[in-house]
Chains A and B, each alone.
With several copies, the nearest count.
Chain A
Amino acid sequence: MDLSYTAEDQAFRQRVRAWLAENVPRQKLITMEEKKAWHRKLYDAGFIGMGLPREYGGRDARPMEQAIVGEEMVRAKAPPPLNGLGIAIVIPTLIHHGTEQQKRRFIHKLLTAEELWCQLYSEPNAGSDLASLQCRADLDGDEFVINGQKIWTSGAHNADWGLLLARTDRTAPKHDGISCLLVDMHSPGIEVRTLKQISGSGEFCEVFFTTVRVPRENLVGDLNAGWRIAQTTLSYERGGNTLSRYARMLQQVTRLLEVCQVLQRDGRPAIEDPLVRQKLGQIYAEMEVLRYASLRILSRLERGLRPGPESSLAKLHYSELDKRVQELILDVLGPYGQQVGGLPDELALVPGVDYGEEGSWMYAFLWSRAGTIYAGSSEIQKNIIGERVLGLPKEVRADRVVAQTAGAARGDGAD
């Protein structure tokens, strides 16, 4: 057990930090063109998809190097790259399950953000219970015909391609009739509507499919094998890069400490109030534990171990902690934490942010409520931890009871 960074890692961090200091854009990126240019710059510097094998456009970078880049990006307040979910989900899916042709066609353009991707999984009636999805993909000759609706799709309004889960066999048990398809988002019959969130911003979309035709060659893996494919890639999303999430919380709390030197509570700076100090000490300690736990995950990855169901512990940890962090910030700042327009600069997270834009205390507060819902709610994560990490027996559930009754005849069980 040795928690020092190696000399090599320290040198790498210095190089990343220096590059970012020189290259991070000074102005906010507004247009998609500007964002793509910045993304390309990051890619050329070797910071995008860097963990991938060189043959797929990566750098064979170690998990630690990826983590360092993630952390330093946050520290430098660098705009994030594009295609985040694409890199996290689509590429592993293609690498593990795609055809050689699919890999060649899609991976590089995704990495360079020449093509933008979205993930078409959730539906209005298939959230936590993703396997109950109803969006249909019916084979018609050499094409699939897609009909249905998807929701909570990040960035669908900008996407060129989407990774779709759709039902290809309506007679099979629900997990066994799903396939995974690559869909051209410019196809006729696709309608994208932006969903406004409680933050006032519109990151998510609804996507409607009406007789959308997708060539059969865009099937990923076997027909009706989509559920297994999605399961393996979902755990990547859940594992996430917790160290950069830590870095983001740290950035906010560090700013909070500055603000507490200025903000007056009961006639003295908030930082001198024993109750405020206690809260700050508590939350800082909790964040440090997230850092330690992240280093532990990272060191397992460095040893070549894959993120398994334990990644649910990480997801549960950072998403629930983020809620506590954001609640605490509002506790300390009182009404100032809820103010967007007109907030004095010395009290702001980022001055001059408007309602619905990232950068206000309010925006961070509201988004923390989504973290325990998307990518598997906290309740789902606790089920996974209980059943797959602790080995507790599965819960008795209506769909399992039905499936068992049906399965008894066939001699198999439900998921």
Chain B
Amino acid sequence: MDFEFTEDQVMLRGLVREFLSEQCPVSHVRAMMDDSRGYDRDLYRRLIQLGMLPFPEAYGGAGLGMIEQAIVLEEMGRIPYPGPYFATVILAGGALMASGDRRTQARYLPDVSNGDLTMSLAFLEGGIAWGPETIRLSLRRDRDGYRLDGIKRFVPFGQSVDVILVVARAGEGRSAEGISLVAVPAGTPGLAIEPELMMDLTSKTATLRFEGVSVPAENLVGPEGGAWPAVELALRQAAVGASAEMLGAARKALEMSVDYAKVRKQFGQYIGQFQAIKHKLAEMLELVENAHAAVYYAAWALDARAPDAALAASVAKSTVNVAGRRVCGEAIQVHGGIGFTWEYDLHLYFKRAKHLEPLYGDTEYHRERVLQEVLAGRVAGSA
């Protein structure tokens, strides 16, 4: 039992932190807010080439686990990094790895691993739901391949990645059977991409409309109609990964608030001397430390394939959703007016945390999932 990072993990954190603080200053982040693609390809490539990818070495990855990904993503949340690392590595990469489809892995992952290929995963459609029931985008056989019709919303960096993995349904019904995964390159005829302007300008998303989009049969990932388990696992990893990013944003907001409370004076004293502020900051620290425990426990449970991995993932996302909201919100309150200005960086963290809150399951979704796992007996030590 050891909850502390290993030396390798501490080194990885240092490596990513140093790289991002040097290569991705806030001036770059702000430039990307106004950029239609939302990221710098060259920076992205160098980031990927730091060598921290979870893919097998055969595909050019470092074979690292979810704990390491959480470390990387927490650092990205502290910037907040604008780019499709999460979309490519966690969402699409996670789905490819979970699919067990070696042919497709071999086709895409080497390019992903050297930074030449960016990807994303298209899941949400007209409403809000994270199960297979509401997937309606239809997949039909069409001569040598497949034809796709339907709509996808909130596709992370959908406007600027190279290939999108689309969660589609072969046949009718609402069950998990029929869920398929198809790779669709940007620019495929019939695919219309509309950028969505989101509150967090550092996180680009897009609406994708599919009207008779044809792809060759080889673009199917995993078995036709049998992709749900892979998608489910990818979404679970995404929930933990998003939690790690939110944790980074929240901890940064806390650090800024503590620093500010130590230098800002009102009524002849530092505002950190007032119990109203001091106690708020203490509560924020507790939220952040609990979020840390939840994120890294969940990451470990995924890596260890612990019986409570799904439970822990839902615990993490529901915990960090609440922590992110409260910590970043109170950070604005501690700062007062300055925290409400565009020029001050605090809102970047506030918005990143808020952006990720409803994605990959909101708080209510994950609390319900927690109960389901408990009632099913999938708790720690149950295996």
Chain A residues near B (Cβ < 8 Å): 1-6, 9, 64, 122, 124-125, 127-129, 132, 151-152, 195-198, 200, 257, 263-267, 270-271, 274-275, 277-278, 280-282, 284-286, 288-289, 291-293, 295-296, 298-300, 302-303, 313, 316-317, 323, 327, 330-331, 334-343, 354-355, 362, 365-366, 369-370, 372-374, 377-379, 381-383, 385-387, 389-400, 402
Contacts and interface: CB of A to CB of B under 8 A. Distances in A.
Contacts, number: 293
Contacts of A366: 199
Given A129-B266, A392-B261, A373 B133 contact: no
A390 B260 CA distance: 12
Nearest to A342: B196
B274 A284 contact: no
9 contacts: A278-B364, A278-B371, A296-B293, A298-B1, A335-B205, A338-B355, A382-B275, A394-B273, A395-B275
Contacts of A395: 273-275, 278
B337 interface: yes
Given A277-B368, A362-B199, A399-B269, A264 B129 contact: yes
A102 B90 CA distance: 61
By secondary structure, the A interface counts as helix
Given A257-B375, A334-B362, A372 B333 contact: yes
B300 A127 contact: no
Contact of A392 (B262, B267, B319): B262
Contact of A3 (B297, B357, B362): B297
B7 to A, nearest CB: 11
A257 B362 CA distance: 20
Contacts of B197: 339-342, 354-355
Interface stretch (B15-23, B233-241, B245-253, B284-292): B284-292
Contact of B289 (A270, A313, A340): A313
A286 B301 CA distance: 17
Contact of B297 (A267, A271, A292): A292
A393 B128 CA distance: 46
Interface in B327-345: 329, 332-333, 336-343
Interface residues of B, number: 98
Given A3-B300, A271-B375, A370-B340, 15 more contacts: A1-B2, A4-B1, A198-B341, A267-B134, A280-B371, A281-B371, A284-B371, A292-B294, A300-B3, A313-B285, A337-B358, A385-B285, A389-B285, A390-B281, A396-B273
Contacts of B342: 195-198, 200
Given A263-B128, A282-B318, A399-B267, A1 B6 contact: yes
A374 B332 CA distance: 12
Contacts of B281: 386, 390, 392
Nearest to B124: A335
Top-7 shortest CB links A-B: A264-B127, A341-B197, A399-B268, A281-B367, A398-B269, A386-B278, A196-B342
Nearest to B308: A288
B37 interface: no
A72 B371 CA distance: 24
Contacts of B325: 327
B116 to A, nearest CB: 29
Contacts of A293: 289-290, 293
A184 to B, nearest CB: 26
Contact of B315 (A197, A274, A289, A362): A289
Given A1-B9, A151-B337, A278 B3 contact: no
B169 to A, nearest CB: 13
B217 to A, nearest CB: 30
Contact of A397 (B67, B269, B339, B364): B269
Nearest to A316: B286
By secondary structure, the B interface counts as helix
A75 to B, nearest CB: 11
B381 to A, nearest CB: 8
Contacts of B354: 330, 338
B267 A2 contact: no
Contacts of A323: 329
Contacts of A151: 337
A8 to B, nearest CB: 11
Contacts of B269: 393, 396-399
B374 A331 contact: no
A63 to B, nearest CB: 10
Nearest to B359: A335
Given A264-B134, A285-B367, A288-B311, A382 B1 contact: no
B199 A386 contact: no
B43 interface: no
B367 to A, nearest CB: 3
B50 interface: no
B358 A334 contact: yes
Interface string B192-208: 00111111110001010
A369 B328 CA distance: 11
B207 A342 contact: yes
B141 interface: no
B178 to A, nearest CB: 15
A289 B293 contact: yes
Contacts of A198: 340-342, 347, 350-351
Contacts of A291: 380
Contacts of B107: none
Contacts of B359: 335
A281 B297 CA distance: 18
A382 B278 CA distance: 7
Contacts of A342: 194-197, 207
Nearest to B276: A379
Best-buried of B311, B329, B359, B371 by chain A (most CB within 10 Å): B371
B2 A379 contact: no
Given A386-B279, A395-B273, A1 B4 contact: yes
B272 A2 contact: no
Given A195-B341, A292-B293, A338 B270 contact: no
